[in-house]
Amino acid sequence: MEALADINILLSLADPAHESHERSSQWYDALPRGSRLWICRYAQMGLLRLLASEAVMQGKPLTLREGWTYHAGLLKDPCIFGALEPRGLQPVWVKLSMGFGPSPKVIADAYLAAFAMVGGYTLVTLDRGFRKFAGLDAEVLM
Protein backbone atom coordinates (compact mmCIF):
# COMPACT_ATOMS: atom_id res chain seq x y z
CA MET A 1 0.00 0.00 0.00
CA GLU A 2 1.19 3.48 -0.87
CA ALA A 3 -0.58 5.84 1.56
CA LEU A 4 -0.38 9.60 1.89
CA ALA A 5 -0.88 10.77 5.49
CA ASP A 6 -3.31 13.51 6.38
CA ILE A 7 -2.19 15.77 9.23
CA ASN A 8 -4.78 14.27 11.58
CA ILE A 9 -3.29 10.78 11.13
CA LEU A 10 0.20 12.04 11.91
CA LEU A 11 -0.99 13.91 14.99
CA SER A 12 -3.01 10.97 16.29
CA LEU A 13 0.00 8.68 15.86
CA ALA A 14 2.26 11.19 17.65
CA ASP A 15 0.05 11.94 20.63
CA PRO A 16 -0.92 9.01 22.91
CA ALA A 17 -3.60 11.26 24.47
CA HIS A 18 -5.28 11.89 21.10
CA GLU A 19 -8.77 10.41 20.89
CA SER A 20 -7.85 8.50 17.72
CA HIS A 21 -4.38 7.36 18.79
CA GLU A 22 -5.37 3.73 19.32
CA ARG A 23 -7.33 3.50 16.06
CA SER A 24 -4.52 5.11 14.03
CA SER A 25 -1.87 2.98 15.71
CA GLN A 26 -3.82 -0.20 15.01
CA TRP A 27 -4.18 0.83 11.36
CA TYR A 28 -0.46 1.61 11.10
CA ASP A 29 0.59 -1.62 12.83
CA ALA A 30 -1.64 -3.65 10.48
CA LEU A 31 -0.15 -2.25 7.27
CA PRO A 32 0.94 -5.06 4.97
CA ARG A 33 4.66 -5.71 4.72
CA GLY A 34 6.27 -3.41 2.14
CA SER A 35 3.67 -0.67 2.62
CA ARG A 36 4.82 2.93 2.64
CA LEU A 37 3.33 5.91 4.43
CA TRP A 38 4.22 9.16 2.71
CA ILE A 39 4.32 12.62 4.31
CA CYS A 40 4.04 15.65 2.03
CA ARG A 41 5.43 19.06 2.97
CA TYR A 42 1.96 20.42 3.81
CA ALA A 43 1.31 17.59 6.30
CA GLN A 44 4.81 17.99 7.73
CA MET A 45 4.23 21.70 8.39
CA GLY A 46 0.78 21.02 9.84
CA LEU A 47 2.14 18.38 12.20
CA LEU A 48 4.92 20.66 13.45
CA ARG A 49 2.44 23.50 13.94
CA LEU A 50 0.00 21.32 15.90
CA LEU A 51 2.68 19.68 18.06
CA ALA A 52 3.74 23.19 19.15
CA SER A 53 0.16 24.23 19.98
CA GLU A 54 -0.68 24.40 23.66
CA ALA A 55 -4.40 23.97 22.95
CA VAL A 56 -3.95 20.94 20.69
CA MET A 57 -1.39 19.28 22.94
CA GLN A 58 -3.55 19.84 26.04
CA GLY A 59 -1.13 22.19 27.77
CA LYS A 60 1.96 20.14 26.91
CA PRO A 61 3.19 21.52 23.57
CA LEU A 62 6.50 20.45 22.11
CA THR A 63 9.17 23.01 21.42
CA LEU A 64 10.01 23.33 17.74
CA ARG A 65 13.28 21.53 18.44
CA GLU A 66 11.30 18.64 19.96
CA GLY A 67 8.88 18.70 17.03
CA TRP A 68 11.71 18.49 14.51
CA THR A 69 13.30 15.68 16.51
CA TYR A 70 10.00 13.80 16.50
CA HIS A 71 9.67 14.29 12.73
CA ALA A 72 13.24 13.09 12.14
CA GLY A 73 12.40 9.99 14.17
CA LEU A 74 9.37 9.34 11.97
CA LEU A 75 11.56 9.34 8.88
CA LYS A 76 13.86 6.73 10.46
CA ASP A 77 10.93 4.29 10.41
CA PRO A 78 11.50 2.03 7.36
CA CYS A 79 7.83 2.45 6.39
CA ILE A 80 7.68 6.29 6.42
CA PHE A 81 8.97 8.57 3.68
CA GLY A 82 8.94 12.22 2.69
CA ALA A 83 6.93 12.74 -0.50
CA LEU A 84 7.91 15.26 -3.13
CA GLU A 85 5.12 17.10 -4.91
CA PRO A 86 4.20 15.13 -8.03
CA ARG A 87 4.29 16.71 -11.49
CA GLY A 88 0.88 17.76 -12.72
CA LEU A 89 -0.50 18.44 -9.24
CA GLN A 90 -1.52 22.07 -9.80
CA PRO A 91 -4.20 21.60 -12.50
CA VAL A 92 -5.85 18.78 -10.54
CA TRP A 93 -5.74 20.84 -7.34
CA VAL A 94 -7.32 23.82 -9.11
CA LYS A 95 -10.04 21.62 -10.64
CA LEU A 96 -10.88 19.94 -7.31
CA SER A 97 -11.18 23.27 -5.51
CA MET A 98 -13.21 25.13 -8.16
CA GLY A 99 -16.54 23.54 -7.28
CA PHE A 100 -16.69 25.09 -3.82
CA GLY A 101 -17.65 28.57 -2.70
CA PRO A 102 -15.70 30.49 -0.10
CA SER A 103 -14.27 27.74 2.06
CA PRO A 104 -10.74 28.12 3.44
CA LYS A 105 -10.57 24.47 4.57
CA VAL A 106 -11.41 23.12 1.11
CA ILE A 107 -8.26 24.55 -0.46
CA ALA A 108 -6.02 22.47 1.81
CA ASP A 109 -8.21 19.38 1.51
CA ALA A 110 -8.26 19.75 -2.27
CA TYR A 111 -4.46 20.00 -2.23
CA LEU A 112 -4.09 16.75 -0.27
CA ALA A 113 -6.71 15.03 -2.45
CA ALA A 114 -4.96 16.17 -5.64
CA PHE A 115 -1.56 15.14 -4.24
CA ALA A 116 -2.88 11.65 -3.53
CA MET A 117 -4.63 11.34 -6.88
CA VAL A 118 -1.72 12.55 -9.02
CA GLY A 119 0.87 10.69 -6.93
CA GLY A 120 -1.05 7.40 -6.99
CA TYR A 121 -1.54 7.26 -3.22
CA THR A 122 -4.41 6.23 -0.98
CA LEU A 123 -5.10 9.19 1.32
CA VAL A 124 -5.38 7.99 4.91
CA THR A 125 -7.37 10.35 7.12
CA LEU A 126 -9.77 10.69 10.01
CA ASP A 127 -11.80 13.27 8.06
CA ARG A 128 -14.97 12.00 6.32
CA GLY A 129 -15.07 15.26 4.36
CA PHE A 130 -12.60 13.82 1.85
CA ARG A 131 -15.39 11.65 0.46
CA LYS A 132 -16.56 14.73 -1.47
CA PHE A 133 -13.69 14.40 -3.93
CA ALA A 134 -14.75 12.12 -6.79
CA GLY A 135 -11.99 9.77 -7.89
CA LEU A 136 -10.01 10.01 -4.64
CA ASP A 137 -8.88 6.73 -3.13
CA ALA A 138 -9.28 7.55 0.56
CA GLU A 139 -9.17 5.34 3.61
CA VAL A 140 -11.15 7.10 6.33
CA LEU A 141 -10.40 5.55 9.71
CA MET A 142 -13.60 5.38 11.73
Question: What burial letters (b/e) apply to 64-76, b meaning 16+ CB within 10 Å?
Answer: eeebeeebeebee
pLDDT given for residue 41 in this prediction: 95
Q: What is the pTM of this model?
A: 0.92
Taking the chain (142 residues) in runs of 10, the rounded mean pLDDT of each run is 96 92 96 95 96 93 95 92 96 92 87 97 96 95 88
pLDDT given for residue 102 in this prediction: 82
CA-nearest of 97, 4, 10, 82 to 46 is 10
CA dihedral 2, 95, 10, 137 (to 10 degrees): -40
For residues 15 and 38, what is the distance between their CA atoms, to the nearest angstrom? 19
pLDDT given for residue 100 in this prediction: 83
For residues 112 and 43, what is the distance between their CA atoms, to the nearest angstrom? 9
pLDDT given for residue 4 in this prediction: 98
Confirm if 93 and 111 have CB atoms less than 8 A apart. Answer: yes
Confirm if 141 and 27 have CB atoms less than 8 A apart. Answer: yes
Q: Which residues lie across from 2 on neighbouring strands?
A: 36
For residues 140 and 128, what is the distance between their CA atoms, to the nearest angstrom? 6
Strands (E), 1-142: 2-5, 36-39, 80-82, 122-125, 138-140
